[in-house]
Chains A and B, each alone.
Chain A
Amino acid sequence: MKNKHVIGVFDKEENLVNAINALNDHKISIEEIYTPYPVHEAIHGLGQKSRFTWVAFFLGLVGAIVVLAFLYYTSVIDWPLNFGGKPSSAFPSFIIITIVTTILIITIGSLFTFSVRAGIYPGKEAILPDERSTDDKFVMMFRQEDDSEQLRKILQENGVEEINEKEL
């Protein structure tokens, strides 16, 4: 279903950041901000948070346990081989494979998590409020119900370039 949105286009990062602060002071909610590169003030201004590092940590923990268990199962339980009388449970020499494979598991797992949580995957169609936001513009998007005189005034005061309306 398509909804109408109000879209403010900024030319400068400074102006965008000032506008975010002013809007937050007036408790006007911003739906989303599109920038050509990561602007940390925008991310914090929207109150975006991520538990990504925790996901990676647990992937690593689970990965390490699974790999060590696999090595123990294959080399000690399922088919122990005699290497010059050395113990089959050669823990120190399992460590290297464990580290490398855990890193691989974290990588694949985090790429998957990123795809799911950020909604970035092959074949997805990009819906942009303004196509210039991947090039040189900073774009703010508002829900129509948040539209007000005050909102437009704050945007104007902070040097917005254009205010458009678009159905997305």
Chain B
Amino acid sequence: MYKEAIRGPLILGDKSFRQISADIIQPIDKRPPLWWKAAFGLSLAMLAMGAWAIYRTIFFGIGTWGVNNTVGWGWAIINFVWWIGIGHAGTAFSIFLLVLRQKWRTSINRAAEAMTVFAVMAAALFPALHMGRIWNFFFIFPYPNTRGPLWVNFNSPLFWDFVAITAYLLISVSFWYYGMVPDFATIRDRAKSKIKKAVYGVLAFGWTGSTKEWLRYENLSYVLGGIAAVLVVSVHSIVATDFAVSVIPGWHTTIFPPYFVVGAIFSGFAMVMTLMVIIRKIYKFQEYITDNHMDAIARILIFISLIMASSYLTEILIAWYSGNEYELFTFFHNRITGEYKFMFWAMITCNAIIPQLFWSKKIRRNLWAMFTISVIINIGMWYERFNIVVTSLANDYLPSSWTNYSPTLEEIGIFVGTIGLFIAGILLFFKYIPMMAINELKSVRDSGSKFRKKIEQMKIKEEDLI
């Protein structure tokens, strides 16, 4: 539990409510700075490359990709799992901490949810393109049709995945949006320009902040939070069953669903840390994203990194202990020592070893170190997915069909395009949406002093609490 009395207040420097609104809204009122325009231009260029790659994929087909009969899943699935993983933390962060009444989420949840929305959008692109004939995409909807009526296969994890991702995207977007409604009202009532007043007035849905609205608003967020917590766990478990129900060595393991969920939360939290360092540095929000906030994220990362390390070891141990020769081959000859050994060792180094640096308090207070480690974790998580997808497929049961896999420019282009989409989305978020939940910040402003008062009343010394 995060106790302000012990770990420092959530908002530094006695701020008035007016000051809090002004601080958070200030990037919206200003013209975008030069770095913003440059970064936005770069992200549009990346998006253009993605558009070219998607054009090639749709007009000439999956043949433009490097995938083949043996390695049927390549970069598209790796990137899909990678993005969906990043997309997990936003909701995981925001919702688990909401349900557990962890107040330190307030300055971070909005950005984490924004990240989720854009990451899930990027992820959803890959399976859609991988269908090959994207114009027949609607065949996956279960509706009465002229094909029989032939329904979709409700027993297939691939269909579960479609349902889960659609639901996850819709729920993340609505949770994010409804969280912003009171803040849009604040912008509306503070705005001086007529256009801004009108635009944010429409976005605010007529919010007034009456008790009637707040009561239902809080109920809504707890209901959505409670049920979406189930979804966070189920979405990535379903992605894992895409692999686990197959009979491919290295995939067919019961550890997959929890292993994937933990991995997803790991990469997502790392991305939250990357974003928080950027927001704190560029917008000088160190009074809202305090050293203690960063410290708390770093501690969670160490914990998850240890779970990741034990999952890797469990997989290897079970491969050996089961005595199954195909599993033994995949893990020991294919992953640890084979052609793709670089990917395996990169995964171990980036995900299990480097994050252990967070045990040092010096590193947990150093923004550059945190930024670098968080980016390294996400690179490591990408290698993990490469390791899972490609090494299991490239050398399977039939040595005559063994082959190598390397991506083509089209596959790289789509990945670059999704990164562009993500960056562009985050930049628009920086410019047009309050980066932190203003109303929630106001509600926790005094929580530290309230807590201290309560302790004084109960005549407990603060030291005794530790």
**Is there contact, CB below 8 Å, between B151 and A111?**
no
Interface status of B206 (Cβ within 8 A of chain A): yes
Q: Among the listed A35, A111, A125, which residue makes an inter-chain contact with B214, where contact means beta carbons less than 8 Å apart?
A: A35
**Is there contact, CB below 8 Å, between A97 and B160?**
yes
**Whole-angstrom distance between the alpha carbons of A44 and B358 in the complex?**
44
Q: Which residues in A have their C-beta under 8 angstroms from that of B407?
A: none
**Is there contact, CB below 8 Å, between A50 and B171?**
no
**Whole-angstrom distance between the alpha carbons of A157 and B406 in the complex?**
77
CB within 8 Å for A100 and B16 given contacts A75-B151, A83-B155, A118-B212: no
Count of chain A residues with Cβ under 8 Å from any Cβ of B? 62
Interface status of B68 (Cβ within 8 A of chain A): no
Chain B: minimal CB distance from A17 (Å)? 12
**Whole-angstrom distance between the alpha carbons of A35 and B207 in the complex?**
11
Interface status of B368 (Cβ within 8 A of chain A): no
**Whole-angstrom distance between the alpha carbons of A152 and B278 in the complex?**
50
Among B122-130, B197-205, B284-292, B458-466, the stretch that binds chain A is B197-205
Q: Among the listed B189, B207, B223, B234, which residue makes an inter-chain contact with A100, where contact means beta carbons less than 8 Å apart?
A: B234
**Whole-angstrom distance between the alpha carbons of A91 and B229 in the complex?**
24
Q: Which residues in A have their C-beta under 8 angstroms from that of B142?
A: 70, 74
**Is there contact, CB below 8 Å, between B160 and A103?**
no
Q: Which residues in A have their C-beta under 8 angstroms from that of B235?
A: 100
**Is there contact, CB below 8 Å, between A103 and B151?**
no
**Is there contact, CB below 8 Å, between A134 and B185?**
yes
Q: Among the listed B178, B207, B223, which residue makes an inter-chain contact with A52, where contact means beta carbons less than 8 Å apart?
A: B223
**Is there contact, CB below 8 Å, between B151 and A32?**
no
Closest A residue, CB atoms, query B437? A37
Q: Which residues in A have their C-beta under 8 angstroms from that of B185?
A: 126, 134
Q: Which residues in B have their C-beta under 8 angstroms from that of A93?
A: 154-155
**Is there contact, CB below 8 Å, between B220 and A114?**
yes
Q: Which residues in B have their C-beta under 8 angstroms from that of A38?
A: 214-215, 217-218, 439, 443
Chain B: minimal CB distance from A141 (Å)? 9
Closest B residue, CB atoms, query A56? B223
Chain B: minimal CB distance from A3 (Å)? 16
Tell me the chain B residues, 154-180 only, with Cβ under 8 Å from chain A.
154-155, 159-160, 163-164, 166-167, 170-171, 174, 178
Interface status of B381 (Cβ within 8 A of chain A): no
Chain B: minimal CB distance from A32 (Å)? 5
Q: Among the listed A37, A53, A75, A78, which residue makes an inter-chain contact with B443, where contact means beta carbons less than 8 Å apart?
A: A37
**Whole-angstrom distance between the alpha carbons of A37 and B218 in the complex?**
10
Interface status of B190 (Cβ within 8 A of chain A): yes
Q: Which residues in A have their C-beta under 8 angstroms from that of B223?
A: 52-53, 56, 106, 110
Q: Which residues in B have their C-beta under 8 angstroms from that of A94?
A: 154
Q: Which residues in B have their C-beta under 8 angstroms from that of A134?
A: 182, 185-186, 188-190, 207-209
**Whole-angstrom distance between the alpha carbons of A106 and B446 in the complex?**
34
Interface status of B315 (Cβ within 8 A of chain A): no
Interface status of B18 (Cβ within 8 A of chain A): yes
Q: Which residues in A have their C-beta under 8 angstroms from that of B182?
A: 37, 134
CB within 8 Å for A96 and B160 given contacts A78-B149, A126-B207, A131-B189: yes
**Is there contact, CB below 8 Å, between B205 and A121?**
yes
**Is there contact, CB below 8 Å, between B160 and A111?**
no
Q: Secondary structure of the B side of the interface? A: helix
CB within 8 Å for A34 and B209 given contacts A103-B231, A128-B189, A135-B17: yes
Interface status of B362 (Cβ within 8 A of chain A): no
Q: Among the listed B186, B205, B214, which residue makes an inter-chain contact with A122, where contact means beta carbons less than 8 Å apart?
A: B205
Q: Which residues in A have their C-beta under 8 angstroms from that of B205?
A: 115, 120-124
**Is there contact, CB below 8 Å, between A135 and B171?**
no
Q: Among the listed A13, A43, A110, A125, which residue makes an inter-chain contact with B220, where contact means beta carbons less than 8 Å apart?
A: A110
Interface status of B30 (Cβ within 8 A of chain A): no
Residue-wise interface mask of B (231-247) relative to A, using a CB-CB cutoff of 8 A (1 in contact, 0 not): 10011001000000000
Interface status of A104 (Cβ within 8 A of chain B): yes
The CB with the most chain A CB atoms within 10 A, among B160, B163, B166, B178, is that of B163
Q: Among the listed A70, A81, A114, A119, which residue makes an inter-chain contact with B153, where contact means beta carbons less than 8 Å apart?
A: A81
**Is there contact, CB below 8 Å, between A135 and B160?**
no
Residue-wise interface mask of A (42-86) relative to B, using a CB-CB cutoff of 8 A (1 in contact, 0 not): 110010111011001000100000000011001100110101000
**Is there contact, CB below 8 Å, between B220 and A32?**
no
**Is there contact, CB below 8 Å, between A128 and B208?**
yes
**Is there contact, CB below 8 Å, between A37 and B440?**
yes
CB within 8 Å for A120 and B207 given contacts A36-B186, A37-B440: yes
CB within 8 Å for A120 and B171 given contacts A107-B227, A126-B185, A135-B21: no
CB within 8 Å for A114 and B148 given contacts A74-B142, A100-B164, A128-B189: no
Q: Which residues in A have their C-beta under 8 angstroms from that of B215?
A: 38, 43, 48-50
**Whole-angstrom distance between the alpha carbons of A103 and B219 in the complex?**
16
Q: Which residues in B have their C-beta under 8 angstroms from that of A110?
A: 220, 223-224
Residue-wise interface mask of A (116-145) relative to B, using a CB-CB cutoff of 8 A (1 in contact, 0 not): 011111111111100111111000000000
A-B residue pairs in contact (CB < 8 Å), sample of 9 = A38-B217, A70-B142, A78-B149, A79-B148, A79-B149, A83-B153, A93-B154, A120-B207, A122-B202
Q: Knowing that A35-B214, A117-B216, A134-B186 are A-B contacts, what are 6 other residue pairs whose CB atoms are under 8 Å apart, sorted by A's residue number? A: A37-B443, A70-B142, A103-B227, A118-B212, A126-B208, A136-B16
- Residues of A with Cβ closer than 8 Å to B? 13, 32-39, 42-43, 46, 48-50, 52-53, 56, 60, 70-71, 74-75, 78-79, 81, 83, 90, 93-94, 96-97, 99-101, 103-104, 106-108, 110-111, 114-115, 117-128, 131-136
Going nearest first, the 5 A-B pairs with the smallest beta carbon separation are A124-B206, A136-B17, A52-B219, A37-B443, A74-B151
- Residues of B with Cβ closer than 8 Å to A? 16-18, 21, 142, 148-151, 153-155, 159-160, 163-164, 166-167, 170-171, 174, 178, 181-182, 185-186, 188-190, 201-202, 204-220, 222-224, 227-228, 230-231, 234-235, 238, 439-440, 442-443, 446
